[in-house]
Structure 1
Amino acid sequence: MVGVPNVTRTDAVAALRNPLAFISERWTPAPRTVQRAALSALVMSVVIVVTGGAVRLTGSGLGCPTWPKCTADSLTATSAMGFHGAIEFGNRMLTYVLCAAVGWAIIAARSEKPRRAGLTRLGWAQFWLVMSNAVLGGIVVLVGLNPYTVAAHFLLASALIAVAALMWQRTREGDGEPRPLVGKPVQQLVWFLVLASSLLIAVGTVVTGAGPHAGDSSEVERMPLDWETVAKLHAVLAWIVVTLTFALWFILKAVDAPRGPLNRTRELFLVLLAQGVIGYVQYFTNLPEVLVGLHMLGSALVWIWVLLVLLALRERPAATAGLPGPVAEAAVRSNA
């Protein structure tokens, strides 16, 4: 018979006072576990964007007409609210799944040995972004899907994706001083690529705010802009991003850059091509909902790969200073 470990009153008090420290003292996750936890948070940050798009594209944005309850009298959607209520409430419930994924990432990062405070901070940054966007999502409902708040909601979700991607990358690196793998001109080109991609996403929210998919079947305010003009500006920015990516790939090949930056740039170029095809097809087919949803997924993937290109420009070995000999050797081997 296996004995059950005794939990003392002191342990119970410690767990209540600081549950993260309590877990960290008793559990050391493998590096792969920490990486998977960070990846799960990144995946869920993309899923919540796509499902949020599904809410808008099905006209379910006001399926739950109030917040934080679904209706004035019910916390959940009721059968009388039909399809739209179920879609909107389901998306709200996915926020809890996202919180669970971010929580797992925080716990895994906090429990890793030796402790990496930077990873834990990135996990908490995701948590506060999720909480902020949940409140902003409630405001979006309360103001009747005002397009400016909808745009801010998407941009905050893009910030969450950025932090989640950074945390996932950092779980696969050490904490040593970053060493650049390319020269300063290439780094500057990539920063121009990041800036152009940020503008592309921002203008994309304006296209959405001025476009026909308002998010609800009722009359919803749109941005007072000519939709086709803004869409053409969005396309120009997309071509700038594609051109910068191709130029970067050409330069990296010319200078015989390491495989990491070259591979990430090639992958980004392929993602951009797929996103461009979807964008043009949806434009010339009057914005079918399925293609618009795929375009939103593509937007998240483009943003992730742009950031991965930026992060691939340097390497960070394990920080071995001050560690005992065997620990230092193990840290070097794990990052080899």
Structure 2
Amino acid sequence: MHRFAAWLPDRVDGRIRFFAWLSFVVETVIIATGGAVRLTGSGLGCPTWPTCTADSLIPTEELTYHSLIEFGNRLMTGVVGIVAVIVVVLVWRLRRERRDLWTLALIVLLGVVAQAIVGGVTVWTGLNPFIVGFHYVSSLALVCVTAAFLVRMREEAGPRERAVPGWYQGVTHATSAVLALTIVFGVLTTGAGPHSGDAAAGRNGFHAELLEHVHAWPGYALLALTLALVIGAWRLGLPTLRWSLVLLLIELVQIAVGLYQARNGLPPLLVGIHMVLAALTAATMTVVILRLKRPAAAERPAEASVAASR
């Protein structure tokens, strides 16, 4: 044990970076595989949980390809969990001086366990659309936490200070709130639409076509606010410029995909892409928010500009 403890990183090294990125990737991939389960009507391909059937842990010959798709997503949960455990182990020696990384790693690990249980509840309730929606939002939140880990592992530990004007910080948080609202309405819209995960699964009872329009309104507001963030960061030379540009680009692609799928009968592949893009949008928004602050000892190339704008 002493030899193993000595082998663990005493600083953020290549091992931590690799598995941190892998954690982000698999948390994103599992959203895609979960979407595939729903969009192929495979939500009850394994009719029980935690086993696939009452008598078998894995799919049996009597079951269909839906069972393989659903079971594949369950296996992906195991991959996500293993990677989360590895990240926790790797930051063990850093848990005191890098409490931020330790906390984020624990959140991901505990979140994966909770998500597995929610997945079981989803099966037990026959794919209740509200629980399915919560399952997706929870997965999206874990993508954001892994993105936060990627940002913080590249920064020094210690106190942080604001790196942008107060008004810019306010607009950024308003943008994140509008993004959250857009995602919520998107989940409700999907819960009212045709992709229920199984022919026998119920819908949430809302008017799907009306929700499509309601979902679009905060989406366009999000685009306008993001454009304001880009312009403000460019004019003032703020550290959020690069990632606000990435955020704007993802939103433009997301809007294009959303418009196409709404006008072409919600093709499953486009709906799945829309789901993954929403997760990437939220992850990028997380990075922008974290860029609002910097380590207190950091260099201040835009100090004069920021102070002048206050």
Q: Does 1:23 align with 2:4?
A: yes
Give the whole-Å Cα distance in 1 for the aligned partners of 2:246 and 2:142: 22
On the 8 A contact 1:99/1:130 being kept in 2, the answer is: yes
Alignment counterpart, residue 308 of structure 1, candidates 278, 287, 305: 287
CA 1:23–1:117 in structure 2 vs 1: closer, same or farther (change >3 Å)?
Answer: farther
8 Å contact 1:210–1:222 — kept in the other structure?
yes
Tell me if the contact between 2:95 and 2:101 (Cα under 8 Å) persists in the aligned partners.
Answer: no
Q: 1:293 to 1:232 in 2, by over 3 A?
A: same
Q: CA offset at residue 174 of structure 1?
A: 1.0
Task: Indicate conservation of the 8 Å contact 1:174/1:317, yes or no.
Answer: no
Is the CA contact 2:9–2:91 (under 8 Å) kept in the aligned structure 1? no
2:133 is matched with which residue: 136, 151, 162? 151
1:160 is matched with 142
Do structure 1's residue 280 and structure 2's residue 259 form an aligned pair? yes
Deviations for 1:242-288, whole angstroms, at most 9, x for unmatched residues?
0000011112222x223x31111111100100111000000000000
Measured in 2, the distance between the counterparts of 1:88 and 1:52 equals 8
Q: After TM superposition, give the deviation of residue 170 of structure 1 in Å.
A: 1.0
Matched residue type, 2:142: L
1:294 counterpart residue number: 273
Query: What's the CA shift for 1:194?
Result: 0.8
- The answer for the alignment partner of 1:250 in structure 2 is 231
CA shift, 1:114, in A, is 7.8
Structure 2: runs of 5 or more not aligned: 299-310
Structure 1 CA distance for aligned equivalents of residues 149 and 296 of structure 2? 16
CA contact (8 A) 1:140 1:150 kept: yes
Could you tell me whether the CA contact under 8 Å between 1:261 and 1:312 is conserved in 2? yes
Q: Residues 1-336 of structure 1 correspond to what in structure 2 (within 5 A)?
A: 15=1, 23-28=4-9, 31-112=13-94, 115-216=97-198, 218-254=199-235, 256-258=236-238, 260-316=239-295
Task: Return the alpha-carbon distance in structure 2 between the equivalents of residues 126 and 27 of structure 1.
Answer: 20
Residues of 2 paired with 1:24 and 1:275: CA distance?
A: 45
Aligned partner of 2:47: which letter?
Answer: P
Kindly name which structure, 1 or 2, has the bigger radius of gyration based on alpha carbons: 1
> 2:107 is matched by which residue type in structure 1?
A
CA distance in 1, matches of 2:151, 2:3: 27
Report the TM-score, using the length of structure 1 for normalisation. Answer: 0.84
8 Å contact from structure 1 (residues 173, 317) kept in 2? no
User: Secondary structure at the residue paired with 2:64?
Assistant: helix
CA distance in 2, matches of 1:124, 1:105: 9
Q: Which amino acid aligns with 2:154?
A: R
**Counterpart-to-counterpart distance in 2, 1:192 and 1:246:** 13
Question: Displacement, 1:115?
Answer: 4.2
C-alpha RMSD over aligned residues: 1.8
For 1:204-237, what per-residue CA distance to the aligned partner results, in whole angstroms no more than 9, with x for missing partners?
Answer: 1101110110101x22210111101111111111
What does the per-residue CA deviation read over 1:20-79, in whole Å, with 9 as the maximum and x for residues that have no partner? x87333332652321222121111111111110000000000000010110000011112
Aligned length: 297
* Percentage of identical aligned residues: 34
For 1:43 and 1:308, the matched residues in 2 are separated by 16
Unaligned runs of 5+ in 1: 1-14, 16-20, 320-336
How much has 1:117 moved relative to structure 2? 2.5
Q: Distance in 1 between matches of 2:172 and 2:5?
A: 38
Structure 1 residues 114, 133: CA separation in 2 closer, same or farther (over 3 Å shift)?
A: closer
Equivalents in 1 of 2:176, 2:40: separation in Å?
Answer: 32
Change in 2 beyond 3 A, CA 1:118/1:23: farther
In the alignment, residue 77 of structure 2 is paired with which amino acid? T
1:113 Cα deviation from its structure 2 partner: 9.1
Q: Post-superposition shift, 1:155?
A: 1.4
TM-score by length of 2: 0.91
Give 1:109 shift.
1.6
User: 2:225 is matched by which residue type in structure 1?
Assistant: L
